[in-house]
Amino acid sequence: MDLSLPLDTAAAAPQRALRQSQVLPAHRLSLVVPMFNERANVQPLLDDVRQALADYPWPWELIVIDDGSTDGTGVTLERAAALAGPFVRVLRLTRNFRQTAALQAGIDAARGDVIVTMDGDLQNDPRDIPRLVGRLLSEDLDLVAGWRQQRQDGLWLRRLPSRLANRLIQRTTGLHFHDLGCSLKAFRADVLRQVRLYGEMHRFMPAWLATVTAPERMVEEPVNHRVRHAGSSKYGLSRTFRVITDLLAMHFFLNFGSRPGHFFGGVGLAVSALGGLVLAWLGWLKLQGEPIGTRPLLALGFFLVIGGLQFLTTGVVAELLIRIYYDRGQAAPYQRRPAASPADDEAWGGDRP
C-alpha cells in the first residue's frame, strides 16, 4: 500500500477534486464535526465548509455536534445554522461525553452514503474533502484517512506525543498509518456503521474498521493542516497516557472481544497449572517426611489454584455477557437533546443531479 503520495498544490487541488467528483457515482455526503468550547470557530467553520463544497455536484449535509460546551458554542451553532440553511444540522449533547461519543452521535444521525469526519478547530481544511471522497469512491475503498505531513502544532505538546502514540498504535494494530490522530477521514457509511465507538476509541477508528473490512481497503491521503487561530487546544501530554490505556483495551477487544472466555480461560488454566505444580512438589516433599506446614510455597500454591479458578469463572461470566450483548443490541454511549429530523429528501446542500 503506497502511502507516500505528494500533496496537491493549492491552485490545482479544488479543480482536480471537482473534475474527479463529477465522474463519481451518485452519492450523498454527510460531514460530521464535533465541537467543544469552540464558539469563536463556529461561523468560520460554516463559511469554510460552504465555500469548499459550493461546487460539489452531489447533495451534502453538515452535522455539527455540540459536546456539552460551556462557552455558548451550542447556542451560537443553532443561530448560525438557522441562517445557513436546513442542510446544517446541530446536535446538542446533554453534557460533555468527549470526542468519541460526539462522533458516534453524528455518525448515527448521518444520512449520507459517505461520511466524512473532521475537527471543529479549523485546523483541518474542508477543501480536502472532495479529494478524499473522490479517492474513496473512484478506488472502491472503505476508508481514506488524512495524513498531516506538515503539521502546524507545537513540537513538545502535540507533535512529539502524537508520534509516540502513532508508533505504539502501529506496533499494536499492525496498521502502518502515519497519522492515526488526524480527524479528517472519509468512510463508506455502510462499513462505518458496523462498528461502535466508545471511550476514547476515535483514535483507533482504522483499527476498529479492520475488524469488518480488509486493511487493503484503507489508505492514507496527504491533507493540508492549518494553524489554530481561535480557541484553545483540548490535547496535551496526558493524551499519551490515555492512548496507552486505550491500546491495552483495544488489543483485548480486537483479539478477544467476541471470545473473552479464551483469554480468561487461558490465564486461569496457566495460573492453576502453576499452583498445581507447586502443591504437587510440596506433596512429594511431604511423602518424603519433610514438614511443609510453615513453607510460604504452600500458601502460594493454594492462592494460585484459587486465582486460576476465579479467572476460569470470570471467563464463563464474560462469555454469558458477550452473548447477551450481541443478542440485545448495542446502547448508545451518549444522550442528546431532542430535535426534529428532516426527511431524507430534504435539507441537503449542493445541486441535485
Q: What is the pLDDT of residue 223?
A: 92
> Average of pLDDT values for 158-186?
71
Architecture in CATH for domain 13-256:
Alpha-Beta Complex (3.90)
Helix (H) or strand (E) holding 180: none
Q: pLDDT tens-digit profile of 49-101?
A: 999 999 999 999 999 999 999 999 999 999 999 999 889 999 999 999 988 99
Three-class DSSP category at 96: coil
pLDDT exceeds cutoff 80 at 13: no
- Residues above pLDDT 70, as percent of the chain: 77
Report the distance separating Cα 302 and Cα 296, nearest Å: 10
Q: Whose grid coordinates read 472466555?
A: 261
Region at 7 (left for phi over 0; alpha for psi -120 to 50; beta for the rest): beta
Residue 215, pLDDT above cutoff 80:
yes
How is 152-178 classified by DSSP, letter by letter? -S-IIIIIHHHHHHHHHHHHHH----S
Beta-bridge partner residues of 33: 64
Supply φ then ψ for residue 146, to 5 degrees.
-70, 145
Continuous segment of H or E residues that includes residue 242: helix 238-256
pLDDT in tens, 232-280: 665 555 566 666 777 777 777 777 777 888 889 999 999 999 999 999 9
According to DSSP, the residues that pair with 124 across neighbouring strands are: 225
Assess contact for 334 and 105: CB atoms under 8 A.
Answer: yes
On the 0-12 / 13-18 / 19+ scale of CB atoms within 10 A, 57 is middle
Q: Say yes or no to pLDDT of 9 above 60.
A: no
More confident residue, 79 or 9: 79
Distance from C-alpha of 107 to C-alpha of 92, rounded to nearest angstrom: 14
- Asked whether residue 323 carries a pLDDT value surpassing 80, the answer given is no
Determine the Cα–Cα distance for residues 260 and 172; give it in Å rounded to an integer: 19
Given the DSSP bridges, would you call strands 143-148 and 185-188 parallel, antiparallel or unpaired? antiparallel
Cβ(7)–Cβ(44) below 8 Å: no
Sign of the CA dihedral 308, 311, 317, 323? negative
Predicted pLDDT at 219: 92
pLDDT tens, 121-160?
889 999 999 999 999 999 999 999 998 877 655 555 555 5
Percentage above 90 pLDDT, the chain: 47
**pLDDT exceeds cutoff 80 at 344:** no
Cα(167)–Cα(176) distance, integer angstroms: 9
Average pLDDT over residues 109-124: 94
**How many other C-beta atoms can be found within 10 angstroms of the C-beta atom of residue 327?**
7
- Region 292-297: mean pLDDT is 87
Q: Are 146 and 128 in contact (CB under 8 A)?
A: yes
- For residue 73, the model assigns a pLDDT of 95
Would you state the pLDDT for residue 337?
72
